[in-house]
Structure 1
Amino acid sequence: MTKDRKATYKVPPSFVTNAAESQELRRRKALDEQKRKRAQRVNSSRQLDIFAQLNLGDSDDEEEPHAPIHPETASSPPTKDGSSRKKRKQKAKKPPAKNKWADQCMYAEMLEMSETGPQDGLPEDLETAWVAVAPVPVGKRCLAVTDQNSGPGHVSNTSLRSRKQGKFLMPRFASILPPSSVLDCILDDNWRENGILHVLDVLKWKGQDIMDCEAPFRFWWRDTRLAELPVSPPPSKSGDDGSNVYRFPHPSRFFAIPHHTDTSLPSLLSRIIPLARTTRSITVDVPNINTESDAMAVDQMVAMQQQTAEIRADGLLLYVSEASYETGPSPLSSWVPIANYESSDIMVDVSADGPLNVFQRLIEHRIRVVESQMET
């Protein structure tokens, strides 16, 4: 399989996996490292609680003594021309600061599969220790970030950040998302027509960090919190594209990508894999703008019409259930796309021999092996 930019799920080209180690080995190491860091954080917090209960006496109120001045660090007297004897160090030019939102997404590796080798590449614990996300929609991976304070009225508190450099994908806009939230999202390919932003995962919600939680809890939290959000009408101002058809100036609908905790072989074969190929139909309300005067009426209420948005499928993602969300490339999440990315056209025939078809054949083979073992 190709090792180009799209060989993993929306991974920047600078990230390269270690080919010398198997994916299974990298996965075990990454999970052990997460467990080690989690235990370390728990132990640190317990020690802080112990120290907080200690009484340090009056020493806390004592003024910190001034450090003595060393003769070599004292200022040198000025010379006749007014300059100092102290050598002036030239300040090195600092490299530009990296955007804080750059490379904050969790990048899934392409699932390494083999139909000819002694090992098929599928995780041994696929049925019991994984969560599937499908169908993953076609679109642009990004982060949705809301400001700390939303303020009164319609305040532009939400920004979409590019996955690689963390730059703005569009101007800030007002949304129904709560303040101090960070969501891992996919901007729908046709968002100007349907206003949809697909929510893949949650990093933070109302200031509460969710990254350290296990995958099933994060997806449950995502679904529950998104369901609690009020229904927001489409923006009254249409995106200007020179036509009389309404265009969303920014996303206003937030839909969770379906997740599946039952990853048994029969469930994968009969339900999840077919879903990963299926185009979803979502009904959305869109302002009915039929005349030029309606298109120019920014503040006037216009009639709504229901429209069916066709969401094209791109494949499925697999997450290790015990794994927390971590930024950057991770073997704890695996990507199984419909099509090989050697093709520049994503709309290839789904019957082509892409990774998802290989995944299906390997699942079918495992089922036959299990059935034969039961017969003997």
Structure 2
Amino acid sequence: SNGITISRLRNGTILHRFPSALPNGSKKGLSGPASSYSILDCIFHEPDETYYIVDMICWRGYSLYDCTAEFRFFWVNSKLTETSAGDPPSTYHRYRFSVVPMYESTLEGLQAAYSGSTPYVKDGLLFYNKHAHFQAGITPLTLVWKDNTCSQYLIDTDSEGQVPTEQHVVLELQEDGKLVTSDDPPIAFGSLDNEFIQKSNLRPGNLLRFSVRDESVKLVDGKMEIGQLQLAGKLNRSRTFADSHSKVSDDMTMH
């Protein structure tokens, strides 16, 4: 809005401030109220300097929060073609915008999404409940699937791309010292005593990274338990959520 386009990381930190061909995204493209704004959920792909659009939350001041995913996907595809935001970069359009490929959850659609080529490095499949409204944060109405075929980032690797002997999980510290996932309700995987919390200058709400060895992970009555968590450090503001239970389970199982 106001003749400028701003992209932010998940924690709100500004990534880019630039002119674009989105509505009111540059001084050249101002039309209607200058404050009319659009909000897109994107992933920036640096190799081709493109913002790949995953979802649309607002367009020219019209909120899509209460619209179904099916409508939002139709809207983003139709509205983007009304602009030149998909054109190559230029003076008043620093980065190109493109909608990620979308498919129906049919056998043919799944095969195309799973095995089809993309102009970017694929990092899993994203499933939406097409009748669901937009919901920020963790929601069971949007799921991610990753395996060795559709993601290069299935589990943590070191700087040389090798799988380490330990994997890492990110958990949130609560008031009572419990270490929990981002689920609602949260699931506890361990706890810290008050003395350790005070000595380490930790506070409730801190996101903490823990290393986990294979031998400490086991299934008890169908539920995963982690016998020993080794604190690896406190995360900075670039991370806003702890891992979900499903992510922890997948990482530990696939490792």
TM-score by length of 1: 0.36
2:196 aligned with 1:196, yes or no? no
AA in 2 matched with 1:259 = M
Matching residue within 35, 43, 64 for 1:210:
64
Q: Which residue of 2 aligns with 1:271?
A: 112
SS in 2 for 1:228: coil
Q: Which runs of 5+ in 2 are unaligned?
A: 25-36, 163-246, 251-255
Q: Which residue of 2 aligns with 1:318?
A: 127
1:58-77 to 2 correspondences below 5 Å: none
For residues 220 and 345 of structure 1, the distance between their equivalents in structure 2, rounded to whole angstroms, comes to 40
Q: Which residue of 1 aligns with 2:101?
A: 258
- The alpha carbon displacement at 1:346 in A equals 10
**8 Å Cα contact 2:53-2:100 kept in structure 1:** yes
Q: Which residue of 2 aligns with 1:167?
A: 13
Where relative contact order (Cα < 8 A, 6+ residues apart) is larger, the structure is 1
For residues 160 and 39 of structure 2, the distance between their equivalents in structure 1, rounded to whole angstroms, comes to 28
SS in 2 for 1:202: strand
Residues 326-375 of structure 1 show CA distances to partners (whole Å, capped at 9, x for unaligned) of 11111110011224223347978xxxxxx9xx9xxxxxxxxxxxxxxxxx
2:18 aligned with 1:177, yes or no? no
In structure 2, relative to structure 1, the CA distance for the partners of 1:236 and 1:200 (3 Å cut) is same
Residues 7-61 of structure 1 show CA distances to partners (whole Å, capped at 9, x for unaligned) of xxxxxxxxxxxxxxxxxxxxxxxxxxxxxxxxxxxxxxxxxxxxxxxxxxxxxxx
In structure 2, relative to structure 1, the CA distance for the partners of 1:326 and 1:203 (3 Å cut) is same
Determine which structure has more spread, i.e. the larger CA radius of gyration.
1
- The alpha carbon displacement at 1:227 in A equals 1.3
Q: Which residue of 2 aligns with 1:139?
A: none
Residues 164-185 of structure 1 show CA distances to partners (whole Å, capped at 9, x for unaligned) of x211113x21111114000000
Structure that is richer in helix per residue = 1
**8 Å Cα contact 2:88-2:96 kept in structure 1:** no
For residues 82 and 18 of structure 2, the distance between their equivalents in structure 1, rounded to whole angstroms, comes to 20
Identity of paired residues, percent? 31
For residues 178 and 201 of structure 1, the distance between their equivalents in structure 2, rounded to whole angstroms, comes to 16
Structure that is richer in strand per residue = 2
Q: Which residue of 1 aligns with 2:43?
A: 186
TM-score by length of 2: 0.51
Q: Which runs of 5+ in 1 are unaligned?
A: 1-146, 151-156, 238-249, 282-310, 349-354, 359-376
- The alignment yields a C-alpha RMSD, in angstroms, of 2.9
Moved over 6 A (4+): 345-348
Residues 295-327 of structure 1 show CA distances to partners (whole Å, capped at 9, x for unaligned) of xxxxxxxxxxxxxxxx21111100011111111
